[in-house]
């Protein structure tokens, strides 16, 4: 009788353990501690040409106008052989595998990405193309005359003549600051815009430069 009672005790002690084991599912993982976010294995889709932003050169893909000598990063998602850094030639054209030559100058990066997408549809199903401006080399203004360094100066967004002159090393001791002017446009239709250096120092006579402008300092 004693052995029968001892057996009943052992069975009763084992029941809670069996109940706990029955609640555990095979292959179940240990739950993450509170506050920790599960890691995601899904990769984000590559941005399309209309979504990509040109972070490297700090330009607006929707507004920036590509010019000769700029450097573009063209990426075709999952097609590394079609992707890479592409220079814009002096004639404003670029060359791509499969696509061949196509115009880039005068377009925004988004417009160019859309054009490349259309052309690649002949060879690739649903191509995903992004165009980023990696090097802004077409946006230049020129300084001649009595400045520290005569020649081209890389233009930054919103650059003024005062900033351009500073980038060129400032005025020389012989400069006539009251007769500085800006030449704008091609030779056939050139505009002459007066610029008063001393007024600009006071925050007046502010002029926003355009690519190709020439600042003349007599």
Pairing of strands 140-145, 214-217: parallel
CA distance 90 to 178: 36
**CATH fold label, 140-217:** Outer membrane lipoprotein wza fold like (3.10.560)
Location of each CATH 3.30.1950.10 domain in the chain: 71-135
Question: Which of 5-19, 24-38, 160-174, 200-214 has the largest mean confidence?
Answer: 160-174
CB 202 within 8 A of CB 130: no
| Average pLDDT over every residue of 141-163 | 91
Cα 100 to Cα 94: distance, rounded to the nearest angstrom = 8
Homologous superfamily in CATH for domain 71-135: wza like domain (3.30.1950.10)
For residue 137, the 8-state DSSP code is -
Tens of pLDDT, residues 167-205: 999 999 999 998 999 999 877 788 999 998 988 888 887
- pLDDT for 155 equals 83
Answer for the pair 154, 143: CB distance below 8 angstroms, yes or no.
no
How many angstroms separate the CA atoms of 157 and 151, rounded? 19
Q: What is the helix, strand, coil percentage profile of the chain, to 5?
A: 25, 25, 50
Phi-psi map region of 69: left, alpha, beta (phi>0 left; psi -120 to 50 alpha): left
Q: Summarize the confidence of residues 66-75 as an average pLDDT.
A: 92
pLDDT in tens, 96-119: 999 999 999 999 999 999 999 999
Residues of the chain with CATH 3.10.560.10: 140-217
pLDDT of residue 57: 54
Over the chain, what is the mean pLDDT? Answer: 79
- Cβ atoms 101, 94 nearer than 8 A: yes
- Strand residues in 27-112 grouped as ranges (E): 71-76, 84-87, 93-96, 100-103
Q: Are 110 and 50 a contacting pair, CB within 8 Å?
A: yes
């Amino acid at each position: 009788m004693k052995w029968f009672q001892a057996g009943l005790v052992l069975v009763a002690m084992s029941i809670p353990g069996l109940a706990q084991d029955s609640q555990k599912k095979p292959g179940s993982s240990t739950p993450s501690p509170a506050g920790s976010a599960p890691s995601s294995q899904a990769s984000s889709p590559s941005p399309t040409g209309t979504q990509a932003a040109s972070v490297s050169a700090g330009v607006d893909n929707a507004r920036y106008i590509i010019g000769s000598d700029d450097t573009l990063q063209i990426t075709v998602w999952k097609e590394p052989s079609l992707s890479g850094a592409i220079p814009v030639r002096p004639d404003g054209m670029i060359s791509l595998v499969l696509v061949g030559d196509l115009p880039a100058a005068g377009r925004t990066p988004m417009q160019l990405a859309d054009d490349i997408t259309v052309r690649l549809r002949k060879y690739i199903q649903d191509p995903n193309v992004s165009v980023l401006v990696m090097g802004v080399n077409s946006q230049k203004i020129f300084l001649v005359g009595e400045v520290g360094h005569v020649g081209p100066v890389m233009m930054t967004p919103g650059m003024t003549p005062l900033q351009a002159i500073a980038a060129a090393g400032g005025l020389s001791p012989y400069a006539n600051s009251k007769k500085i002017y800006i030449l704008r446009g091609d030779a056939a239709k050139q505009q002459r815009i007066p610029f008063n250096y001393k007024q600009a120092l006071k925050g007046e006579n502010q002029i926003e430069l355009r690519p190709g402008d020439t600042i003349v300092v007599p």
